[in-house]
Structure 1
Amino acid sequence: MSTETLEFQAEARQLLQLMVHSIYSNKDIFLRELISNASDALDKLRLESLVDKDLDADTSDLHIAIEADREARTLTVRDNGIGMSREDVVRLIGTIAKSGTAEVLAKLREAKENAELIGQFGVGFYSTFMVADRVVLTTRKAGEAEGTRWESAGEGTYTIEAVADAPQGTSVTLHLKPEDSEDHLYDYTTEWKIREIVKRYSDFISWPIRMTTEKTGEDETVEYETQTLNSMKALWARPRKEVEQSEYNDFYRHISHDWSDPLETIHMKAEGTFEYEALLFIPSRAPFDLFMREGKRGPQLYVKRVFIMEDAEALLPDYLRFVKGVVDAHDLSLNISREILQQDRQIQAVRRRLVKKILSTVRDLQQNDNEKYQTFWREFGRAVKEGLINDTDNQGAILEILSAASTHAEEGVTTLADYVSRMKDGQQHIYYMTGESRSMIENSPHMEAFRAKGFEVLILTDPVDEVWVERVTEFDGKPLQSIAKGQVDLESEEEKEAAKPEQEQRKKDFAELLTWMTGALSENVKEVRLSSRLTTSAACIVGDENDVTPTLEKMYRAMGQDVPHVKRILELNPTHPLVTGLRTAIESGSKDAQKDTAELIYGMALLAEGGELSDPSRFTRLLADRLAATL
């Protein structure tokens, strides 16, 4: 039969070269990845055979076989699972069929010692080239008559041909590198090394992993014995007290393709009208695709130990998409679809319980293991805050575990509860400000009075912060208040009473300036008023209590929504020389001559908050002319 030579996709070719010349210290993972792929293929065949009664496939003895030949230096991992068609082979092996490939390559190059990235990015098959000079894959899809053989030396091309006698399933044969090669660490044809890897990483695989071994009898004759290398115990079905954390860790690596240990393990069992077991894991680091729309999300779904689907999104909300694990339901149909799953009342009940358990687990970390909690929030806080927008039922629980940077400390984050515990006597609001960076917020004119009076302000710099603060009104009975919106009231009743005469006089003194300036800047602002939040800056721009922020306005437009432009309020510092000087000039009758000054004050206030000028060249010209006039 004819053999066709094809080129790898460009990114796959680069990835192959990384693998061939890899300096990963732990090359054992190649076998873990091959066994994991074989296990997936067996899961898929069992499900397909249960759903499609007419499928022509042998399911009588589903298993994984490992065959080692020390003389030929080959290692073969074989399964009799679902198999692949020729198109599947080209799509899955010849290319990297996913987005984010450039990021995969960049991170693999940056972290050559981080073997977890191999599995984490779903490129496990390519790891075979760390230990092999040549790889041969032979496969036949269940129900099809013809098989396919794929072969490559990892140098940019591969050959593919049809084969008539391929058994059902897939076999991958590695022609291992010479024992004296610089990449050689272990002889992967030795029985002890294969047993060690299987025991460490694949003991819980639900299919038997078999290997035929040699042993010498009493009369020096060689005998052959086929042994099962793994225990095949479903961890989620065993009582927690009978499972070692190391077993949980290994299972987590198997389902997540992450090399790190999980941050936290959640083992649940529900009995009653709807029974299920759940084994969930909170990772210790965020996956690379956490904020990619195409990223996989949701735990694996089983029904009575039968694998149903890989990513059951209906079981967890999107803001908990980083949680990995297994849910094994007892009373669902084996051929349940994703669409039916979304509408199933029992599944929705499971979802509610899983969410509450995950959030309460994080709450326990917050109270009892601050180091783990800090890791969790650093890696996943940005995603969790999405739940404040989409999950009103659990909004309170999410607020309890929320943390944010604060003016209370230069580094680290604080919880809302800790903020409330530090509130000054008489303080009614939890103050916050959103912005692009901490430095921009800390140097904002809006912060001046709060800093002067010692009021703590939360510093919110994630894009999602702009949205959730619009939905959340309070925490622990304390209203949330943006320091860049509405009026600011930081004075005690005694201070207000004492300052009342002075404030009344200022209103009269500045009335003409404020009226004139509101008219002069009417295209940009809806009001000019005196400020109680400024101590050193001349002016700042604030929004009304219920106005959309400029950043949120920009975000909506980027999403294609037609949002009307919101005019805001310019506040002036009545004690600043620039403002008092402008007041004097206006009162002396030179209003037309001072329009440029009003425009400059507005532009400076806009730049101080990180805004964008509508006409930067005009602003620069006005500023240059005004500076030149002072020389």
Structure 2
Amino acid sequence: MTVEAKKETLGFQTEVKHLLHLMIHSLYSNKEIFLRELISNASDAADKLRFEALGNDSLYEGDSDLKIRIEFNEPQKTITIIDNGIGMTREEVQDHIGTIAKSGTKQFFERLTGDQAKDSELIGQFGVGFYSAFIVADKVSLTTRKAGTAVSEGVRWESAGEGDYSIETVEKPSRGTEIVLHLKEGETEFLNDWRLRSIIKKFSDHISLPIVMSKEVVAEQDEENNEITPANIEDETVNSASALWAKSKDEISDEAYSEFYKHVAHDFQEPLTYVHSKVEGINEYTLLLYVPSRAPFDLWDRDAKHGVKLYIRKVFITDDAEQLMPRYLRFIRGIIDADSLPLNVSREILQQSKQISTIKAGAVKKVLGLLENLAETDGEKYQQFWEQFGNVIKEGSVEDFKNKERIAKLLRFSSSHTDSKVQNVSLDDYISRMKEGQDKIYFVTADNFAAAKNSPHLEVFRKKNIEVLLLTDRIDEWLVSSLSEYNDKHLQSISKGELDLDKFDTEAEKQQQAEISKDFESVLKQMQEVLADKVSEVRISHRLTDSPACLVTGAYDMSLNMERIMKEAGQAANMLGMGGSKPILEVNPEHALVNVLKNEQDDARFADITHILFDQTVLSEGGQLDDPSVFVHKLNGLLQSLLA
């Protein structure tokens, strides 16, 4: 006997123990889903075998009639799920069942509340899969053999769903997987032919391969020949066993669409919305695509597989077809079934195929149309979508030039005209509220909503009642660098360059500004000399009404917020003059601190106040001081002089 063939007892990964405990206690009210999950896994195994066998027919081992069998044994209190799909090796069993390798596992457990009802939603979002067996079973035995391997290379896995499991190499004549559930006390309701059939019809009718159960055919008497045909047992297909997406939309209920989503997405919750469409012509294909109601935990994992499965004439090809959906729509789940592609299509062909490119373009249009319709007809649902996937959609404005205008229409932001940080203002909403004569869409970027809402750059806009979009997501800096205009309106940062607001000023205000600028010429010059190594210019501000000063970057320079993000990411830091273009310091001539400088005769004191003003602006912009102790020392000195 080889080392591998021996029986081993191994401990579950800590996360598996936690998940098992949560599932058993939180999903108990919906325990019949165990059968749906195990049937879904069996269906996936059959799909994978069908695809692998396209290039190696011997994997069928003389049996190409793929099916799933459900059996129950009342005296032994067992339910058995059998498939003749791809099967697993010993290593695959340990990888897939002994551990959870899903991205976002840590965040998943951090979000659990201890409230069973709320936690059950999260568990469903995370995916329950094989472990759902332990909702009804106190012991599970899995026997499997990978297609194409020797009979002696079967694997048996057993566990009571507590701290450990056993695994051993066994003989298994047939390929595929057999799972035996030893039911807990009190779960005998599932040892019933009608109960199991009703669950299959409810949750798994859409599975495209047969799900069979045994049925007793009663004895019949042939009166003409006076013979009795004895009773016998026959297999009966319980589900409709046809590809749901190939049916007419009129034939499919909302419940059937929902259950198919849960199968294809391995999700526990209802989808938010979906689109089912058949495209005819030279390049024929059918698509059934869903928007989940919640973001999957691997949404930000760039190595995660995309959620759209490729079929060719109802034959599963791959669930890793990046060519079917762009990165910014990676949350989409569903299938695309192409009629015009060859069954033996390779990854290389997929990458280079013009037909695939056409299908992808068509699928993207359908998804964008679906989201546009949702935004127009159901604002509440669209807000739910935006809260889950808004940041991902924003990537599309950077990545998808062809659809940039359509994507921009879907964007939502916070606004200075509301007190809520909820992002629910569209660019069209903003344009509809623009002041007469306004030709720009104004925005400010910041680390968070509070920083944006309280930015000194907003002061003059509040005074003139001009709306400003508050952009607080990290992706927003890349978004506005790519989306420079919308509907012929230029997007303008209120913290960059000169503000074009003089059209909203009266002649008296313009004259007053000119006089003030002349009056402060010497002050600005002296401040410039003090801050020569930190700023490119000191000038009178037309943006401030309450704050003494603010920092501004050049119209074509990187914003201070962007420089901060780059610095935190380990990139070269140009912020506040550190190795790059220097910002501009704007001062408010009506503020008492600035007026103090106008009359200050002591050069050292003038320099200290100037440095304090500058450091304050750095802090208000969310930046960090090079040496905070110097700032504190100068500030304390100023306070002491005021008390003297």
> What is the TM-score of this pair, normalised by structure 1?
0.94
Offset at 1:11?
A: 2.1
Deviates more, 1:133-142 or 1:96-105: 96-105
Deviates more, 1:74-83 or 1:517-526: 517-526
Listed as ranges, the matches of 1:438-457 within 5 Å are: 438-457=449-468
Offset at 1:215?
A: 6.8
Q: Distance in 2 between matches of 1:215 and 1:337?
A: 46
In the alignment, what sits opposite 1:458? 469
CA contact (8 A) 1:116 1:257 kept: no
Letter in 1 for 2:181: L
In the alignment, what sits opposite 1:484? 495
- Return closer, same or farther for 1:373/1:14 CA change in 2, 3 Å cut-off: closer
Listed as ranges, the matches of 1:33-182 within 5 Å are: 33-55=37-59, 57-107=61-111, 110=114, 112-113=116-117, 114-115=119-120, 117-145=122-150, 146-179=153-186
The partner residue of 1:531 within 541, 545, 548 is 541
User: 3-state SS of the aligned residue for 1:263?
Assistant: strand
Letter in 1 for 2:329: L
Offset at 1:366?
A: 1.7
Deviation track 1:529-575 (CA, whole Å, cap 9, x = no partner) reads: 00001111111111111111223223334445446434211100011
User: 3-state SS of the aligned residue for 1:600?
Assistant: helix
- Return closer, same or farther for 1:355/1:427 CA change in 2, 3 Å cut-off: same
Deviation track 1:592-627 (CA, whole Å, cap 9, x = no partner) reads: 332111110011112122222121122122212211
CA contact (8 A) 1:118 1:127 kept: no
Whether 1:430 aligns to 2:445 is no
CA contact (8 A) 1:432 1:480 kept: yes
CA contact (8 A) 1:117 1:258 kept: no
Q: Distance in 1 between matches of 2:113 and 2:165?
A: 23
Offset at 1:336?
A: 2.6
Listed as ranges, the matches of 1:334-349 within 5 Å are: 334-349=343-358
In the alignment, what sits opposite 1:32? 36
Listed as ranges, the matches of 1:553-572 within 5 Å are: 553-562=563-572, 564=574, 565-572=580-587
In the alignment, what sits opposite 2:618? 606
CA contact (8 A) 2:564 2:623 kept: no
In the alignment, what sits opposite 1:193? 195
Deviates more, 1:49-58 or 1:271-280: 49-58
Listed as ranges, the matches of 1:374-413 within 5 Å are: 374-411=383-420, 412=422, 413=424
Q: Distance in 1 between matches of 2:112 and 2:218?
A: 45
Deviation track 1:384-433 (CA, whole Å, cap 9, x = no partner) reads: 00111111111100111111111222234211111101111111211111
Q: Distance in 1 between matches of 2:74 and 2:36?
A: 20
CA contact (8 A) 2:26 2:120 kept: no
Q: Distance in 2 between matches of 1:265 and 1:326?
A: 11
Offset at 1:22?
A: 4.4
Q: Distance in 2 between matches of 1:630 and 1:188?
A: 83
- Return closer, same or farther for 1:143/1:236 CA change in 2, 3 Å cut-off: same
Whether 1:595 aligns to 2:607 is yes
In the alignment, what sits opposite 2:507? 497
Q: Distance in 2 between matches of 1:556 and 1:65?
A: 56
Q: Distance in 2 between matches of 1:198 and 1:115?
A: 22
Gaps of 5+ in 2: 222-227, 575-579
- Return closer, same or farther for 1:299/1:23 CA change in 2, 3 Å cut-off: closer
Offset at 1:218?
A: 7.9
Offset at 1:166?
A: 4.2
CA contact (8 A) 1:24 1:115 kept: no
Deviates more, 1:368-377 or 1:97-106: 97-106
Gaps of 5+ in 1: none
Q: Distance in 1 between matches of 2:434 and 2:6?
A: 78
CA contact (8 A) 1:74 1:174 kept: yes
- Return closer, same or farther for 1:110/1:398 CA change in 2, 3 Å cut-off: farther
Q: Distance in 1 between matches of 2:626 and 2:198?
A: 66
User: 3-state SS of the aligned residue for 1:430?
Assistant: strand
> What is the TM-score of this pair, normalised by structure 2?
0.92
The partner residue of 2:532 within 510, 517, 522 is 522
Offset at 1:510?
A: 0.9
- Return closer, same or farther for 1:59/1:545 CA change in 2, 3 Å cut-off: farther
The partner residue of 1:261 within 265, 270, 278 is 270
- Return closer, same or farther for 1:218/1:111 CA change in 2, 3 Å cut-off: farther
The count of residues paired between Structure 1 and Structure 2 equals 622
- Return closer, same or farther for 1:593/1:560 CA change in 2, 3 Å cut-off: closer
In the alignment, what sits opposite 1:541? 551
Deviation track 1:264-284 (CA, whole Å, cap 9, x = no partner) reads: 111111111211111111112
- Return closer, same or farther for 1:110/1:568 CA change in 2, 3 Å cut-off: farther
CA contact (8 A) 1:24 1:112 kept: no
- Return closer, same or farther for 1:222/1:70 CA change in 2, 3 Å cut-off: farther
Identity of aligned residues (%): 48
CA contact (8 A) 1:75 1:173 kept: yes
Q: Distance in 2 between matches of 1:123 and 1:212?
A: 28
Letter in 2 for 1:523: D
Q: Distance in 2 between matches of 1:348 and 1:23?
A: 42
Whether 1:359 aligns to 2:368 is yes
In the alignment, what sits opposite 2:250? 241
- Return closer, same or farther for 1:546/1:309 CA change in 2, 3 Å cut-off: same
Aligned alpha-carbon RMSD (Å) = 2.1
Letter in 1 for 2:16: A
Deviates more, 1:348-357 or 1:222-231: 222-231
User: 3-state SS of the aligned residue for 1:393?
Assistant: coil
Q: Distance in 2 between matches of 1:39 and 1:200?
A: 16
CA contact (8 A) 2:206 2:240 kept: yes
Q: Distance in 1 between matches of 2:389 and 2:463?
A: 34
In the alignment, what sits opposite 2:224? none
Q: Distance in 1 between matches of 2:431 and 2:210?
A: 56
Offset at 1:308?
A: 0.4
Q: Distance in 2 between matches of 1:408 and 1:517?
A: 35
Q: Distance in 1 between matches of 2:374 and 2:428?
A: 15
User: 3-state SS of the aligned residue for 1:489?
Assistant: coil
The partner residue of 1:579 within 568, 588, 594 is 594
Q: Distance in 1 between matches of 2:134 and 2:346?
A: 37
Letter in 2 for 1:139: T
Q: Distance in 2 between matches of 1:111 and 1:197?
A: 27
Offset at 1:53?
A: 3.5
